[in-house]
Structure formats: C-alpha cells, structure tokens
Amino acid sequence: MRRVSFLLGLTVLVMVWGGPLLDLYRNSFASHMLAHMGVVAIAAPLLAIVVSGSRFDLLARSSISTPIVASVVELFVVWLWHAPAMRALAERSVLVTVMEQSSFLAAGLFLWLSCIGYRTSEDTAARSGVGALGLLLTSVHMTLLGVLLSLAPRPLYGLDEVTCFGVTLSAQGDQHAGGVIMLAVGAVVYLIGGLVLLGRILSEPNAMQQAREP
C-alpha cells in the first residue's frame, strides 16, 4: 500500500511540476488550479500515507489540536497565493513559482499528516474526530474561495485571453474555470476525507466515548 501510494504521489508531482501546467500554460489560471489541486489534494494525501508512522513522521506524537492549526496554515497559504499580486509574481518568476508550489506541498503534507497520520490505540477516536474537523474546515474554505472565483463579476488575474490544452478562454472564463476546478477537486476531496474519518469513529464500538474523554 505504501509503495503504491509513494509511486502514485511521485507520479502526480512529476506530471504537475514537469508537465505543461507550469510551463506552456503558466499564464492560465485554470492551469494553475489544476497544478494546485494535483499537489495538495492528490499528491499530498498519497505521500502522507507513506510518511505516516515512519521515522519521517514528525507529527506522530503531536497534540490532537494539530489538525486545526494545520487547516489554518493551509487557509493562509492558499489565500495568500491566490491574491492577484502574488499570482502575478508567480506567473512572471520561476523562483516564485517554486516557492509557491513548495509551500503548497508543505502545507498539504502538514494538513494530511495531522488529520490522517499515525495514531496510537489510546487516541484513535480523539485524533480521528479532530482530524475530521480539520479536513471539513479546509473543505469549507476551499469551497468559499472556489465560489468567489467562479462567481466574480470581473477577472482578477489579467485581462487577456489564454490558451490551456488547446482551449482559448477569456480572462474571466479562465478564472471561472479555475474556481470550478477548486470546487470539483479540492473541496470534494477534503470533504470526503473528513467524512471517512467520521465514519471511522462511528464504526468503532467505544469511539464516541473515547472521543469525549479528556
């Protein structure tokens, strides 16, 4: 399982970072969003499965409040890099793009490891409960940003037409497409992750009692 997760996660990163999304189509916001979601919502959870419980899992013994902190960090990183000024910098500079993508991966790993990472038998229910809350909170802020981008009455990221995978889009259409991608991938993946953790709690006979214990 870990080997498969590692190979899949690494493949996604190679496709995102070595493919056309950040090169040929770097001026397209929809292309950026595909890359963003590939890193935080696909590669990060796959790699978190690999790291969880290993000697590289620095969060294994952390406080159960870590998922909430990680969700806030994810919110800050995501909203920061989607500010128009920061988006423009990332489009113009390869170095800034590297910083952007690195922070996406770091924040994604921090969140997914905090929420689905290794748990001892004593704190499984409690950690699962807080982990579910962290993922659901992240789904909420991803949904909010996706809706804002999809419904914005004017383009926030330039005025020119862009081309992505052979499709020519207006600046506003490109932005709306990016917002829809965030909703369809990011918000949904985090929601499913939160629901899976809630299901884990409900499936354990004494889970609710453990979750209420200090």
Q: Which tens digit of pLDDT belongs to each residue from 15-49?
A: 999 999 998 898 899 999 999 999 999 999 999 98
What's the mean pLDDT in 161-186?
92
Domain spans of the chain?
A: 2-212
Angstrom CA distances, 123 to 24, 31, 48, stand at: 47, 40, 19
pTM, entire model: 0.88
pLDDT reported for residue 208: 47
Task: Report percent pLDDT > 90 for the chain.
Answer: 61
| Percentage of the chain lying above the pLDDT 70 cut | 86
Give yes or no for residue 138 having a pLDDT over 60.
yes
Query: What pLDDT score does 60 carry?
Result: 66
State the helix-helix crossing angle for 124-151 and 66-81, rounded to 10 degrees: 20
Task: Single out the residue of 72, 68, 30 nearest to residue 158, CA to CA.
Answer: 30
CA 51 to chain centre: 17
